[in-house]
Structure 1
Amino acid sequence: MNQQQDQLATLHEIRNIMDRSSRFISLSGLSGVAAGVSALLGAAVVKWYLVTHGINYNENLGRGLSNEVIFFMLSAAALVFILAFCSAAYFTIRNARKSNHRVWDSKTERMLVNLFIPLAAGGIFCAVLFYHNLLFLVAPAMLVFYGCALLNASKYTLSDIRYLGIFEIVLGLLAGFFVGYGLLAWTVGFGVLHMVYGMLVYFKYER
């Protein structure tokens, strides 16, 4: 019995080694927390801007917004993306050096390629929605495509990111039905879910 248990333990260890050799495992949970904080700050700024300009997004669903308002919202979203990307790079590089792992190799490249293909498709689709003045579908589309990107990349990094992707997709689909809550769904998806995911990953792998 002990010999059989030892063999199973050895096989499990070999599987873990093979899994680590084929996946990018230096992704830091703190990067998810930082991304969530950035999204919450961005959502708060957009909400403040809409309130000060007397715009009720839930009522007009983004219809009739001036170019100035649209530009402000896009700028806020772009700033959130830049902050999230920079924080993810910083914490991931720090985590990789702490664990004596390489920051850039074939595993990193595979993960990023599989992440950015759905993201690029989602960005183009959102541009199409803007072109046709379907602004109320932009937030749901962003959540769905982002979730698909996470699912696609989860094969090459921590498997936990798969569950974040599923939640993002479900939330995006729900927001597609309840379009009046698009901004709220965006805030929950990119803010709250990122923070919860980041904390879970941090306490699971980094503490």
Structure 2
Amino acid sequence: MSQELKDDLQHIRKMMEQSSRFISLNGLSGVVAGVVALAGAFVAYYILQKSSIDYFQDYSGATGVGVVTQLTLLAIVVLIAAVGLGILLTVNKTKKQGHKIWTSTTKKLLVALFVPLIFGGLFCLAAMYHGHFIIMAPLMLVFYGLALINAGRYTFSDIQNLGYCEAFLGVIAMFIPGYGLVFWALGFGVLHIVYGLLMYQKYR
């Protein structure tokens, strides 16, 4: 096979990959999300300590309306900050590569990602409504992991691997009451940073 034919085949393969997968994810967005999540975990622990709640011993005490409200608002702020910065970094990378950010593949990726997240969020709200606060962090990890596994079909396979790790951590956390915040920090913080750095080195 001539070198020219090999080059043509590689070009065709690259074009097909670009049309079927979203390949502009920025690894640094994972690092940023991880740092934001870790900061959020430390603030959450501070809120609990300030309310005289020892999360590791008396986790049932975190059911007070004031504490739950503060933690919920904190979670919303962390989510907005992580997602917002992640989108900004990804858009910048897409522009530098000369690709379109809004394509049919992007739509499929977002649907695959947000359907499990939306239903998972509703499930978490139902658990919160019934006072099952102890399983909130594990549930978030599990549904987030499933969302990544689902969305990984339309982007790098590394995302699916991250999803399996997140879901696995969530399941483990279910069996260790009182350490949900620790697993939350490991999943949304440490794992994001590790995978973000690996993806940045691999796909930059």
TM bucket by the smaller chain? over 0.9
Counterpart residue identity of residue 202, structure 1: Y
Give RMSD over aligned pairs. Answer: 1.8
Q: Please tell me the residue identity of whatever aligns with 2:130.
A: H
Match of 2:52 among 40, 51, 54: 54
Residues 25 and 62 from structure 1, CA distance in 2 versus in 1: closer, same or farther, beyond 3 angstroms?
Answer: farther
Amino acid across the alignment from 1:119: L
Identity %: 46
Corresponding residue for 1:28? 26
Q: Report deviation, 1:15.
A: 3.2
SS in 2 for 1:62: helix
1:92 corresponds, among 90, 93, 113, to 90
Aligned to 1:149: 147
Residue 125 of structure 1 aligns with which residue?
A: 123
Match of 1:106 in 2: 104
Residue correspondence of structure 1 range 1-207 to structure 2 within 5 A: 3=1, 11=9, 14-63=12-61, 65-206=63-204
SS in 2 for 1:104: coil
For the structure 1 residues 52 and 154, does the alpha-carbon distance in structure 2 shift closer, same or farther, using more than 3 Å as the test?
A: same
Shift of 1:105: 1.2
Inter-partner Cα distance in structure 2 for 1:177 and 1:5: 57
Q: Secondary structure at the match of 2:178?
A: helix
Following TM superposition, by how much is the alpha carbon of 1:52 offset from its aligned partner in structure 2, in angstroms?
A: 2.0
What runs of 5+ residues in structure 2 fail to find an aligned partner? none
Using structure 1 for the length normalisation, give the TM-score: 0.92
TM-score (normalised: structure 2)? 0.94
- What is the Cα deviation at residue 60 of structure 1? 2.5
| Distance in 1 between residues matched to 2:98 and 2:129, nearest whole Å | 47
Which amino acid in structure 2 is aligned with residue 42 of structure 1? G
Task: State the shift of 1:144 in Å.
Answer: 0.3
Contact 2:152 2:160 in 1 (8 A): yes
TM-superposition CA deviations, 1:30-58 (whole Å, max 9, x none): 11011001101111111111112210112
Which has the higher mean CA deviation after the structures are superposed, 107-116 or 59-68? Answer: 59-68
Number of matched residues?
Answer: 204
TM-superposition CA deviations, 1:156-195 (whole Å, max 9, x none): 1111101100000100000011122100000110000001
Q: What is the distance in 2 between the residues matched to 1:171 and 1:9?
A: 43
